[in-house]
Amino acid sequence: MVLKLYKSDASPPVRAVLMTIEAANIPNVEMIDVNVLEGDHLKEEYLKMNPQHTIPTLQDDDFYIWDSHAIAVYLLTKYSNNTTLYPSDPKQRAIINQRLHFDSGILFPNLRAVIEPLFYKGEKSFKQESLDKIKSGYEFSEKFLTKRWIAGDEFTLADIFFLASIRSSIEVQPIDSEEFPKLTDWLNRCKELDCHKKVNEPGSIIFRNSIRRLLG
């Protein structure tokens, strides 16, 4: 087995995969940094692996898969005995899958829409309409929290992906604890997790510093 993860720690999707690896104790993953700002992801050798030139990308011998959600599910189903992060029960899995699609369709795209103009168009401020969309994601997340965690009573893959996206989102649109008490409590619980302390928080600080430099 040769597992290689092509990554950039500032990226929320990358951090979600790294947290999955940490939480599930998946060993022997070689980490390869990709400098997006210098165009590493657009080089011919990278495009052969991933024609979408996104990060992260996972290499498993001669098999390549990208999209962080797909990577995390692949790793858990092939290389982990963990039964709580992505349980086999159809109803539990359906809820987790719904939350994963919410992250891929709402939470992370809303964040990306805010920061891409800074990285690629040289803008020096955030658009209010984009910030409002991030807040809308918080509103739905607050409603999802009918139990202790995003998808129920147990910490799952859904929490990992929400944590990666939301922890970065608060760098541009802070969470009002009075308006979103459940989301605030959930985030505080997540901050005590080893996978957050070891992986997500350090990467979030890199993300924050990048944003501040671009804002001047």
Q: Find, among 60, 58, 54, the residue nearest to 40 by Cα.
A: 54
Q: Taking residues 1-19, what's their average pLDDT?
A: 94
Say how many C-beta atoms besides its own lie within 10 A of residue 161's C-beta: 29
Mean pLDDT of the chain: 96
Look at residue 190 in the predicted model and tell me its pLDDT: 98
* Domain at 90-215: CATH architecture: Up-down Bundle (1.20)
Q: Where are the domains of the chain?
A: 3-79, 90-215
Is residue 216 over pLDDT 90?
A: no
Q: Which residues pair with 60 in a beta bridge?
A: 3, 63
In which band, very low, low, confident or very high, does the pLDDT at 1 lie, cut at 50, 70 and 90? low
User: How large a percentage of the chain has pLDDT more than 70?
Assistant: 100
Domains 3-79 and 90-215 share a fold: no
Look at residue 37 in the predicted model and tell me its pLDDT: 82
In this structure, whether the domain defined by 3-79 belongs to CATH 1.10.15.40 is answered with: no
Catalytic residue status for 11: yes
pLDDT, tens only, 110-131: 999 999 998 888 889 899 999 9
Contact between 111 and 12 (Cβ < 8 Å) = yes
Alpha helices in the chain, H assignment, sequence order: 12-23, 44-49, 68-79, 90-102, 108-121, 128-144, 157-169, 181-190, 194-195, 201-215
**DSSP label at residue 193:** S
Whole-number Å distance between alpha carbons of 22 and 24 = 6
Whole-number Å distance between alpha carbons of 152 and 145 = 8
Instruction: Spot the catalytic one: 8, 11, 141, 169.
Output: 11
- The structure tokens listed for 118 are 């800074």
User: How large a percentage of the chain has pLDDT more than 90?
Assistant: 92
| Strand 3-7, strand 29-33: pairing | parallel
- Strands (E) across 48-179 are located at 57-60, 63-66
Contact between 200 and 207 (Cβ < 8 Å) = no
- Cβ neighbours of residue 141 under 8 Å, at least 6 residues apart? 107, 150, 162, 166, 180, 183
Whole-number Å distance between alpha carbons of 107 and 101 = 9
Is residue 146 over pLDDT 70?
A: yes
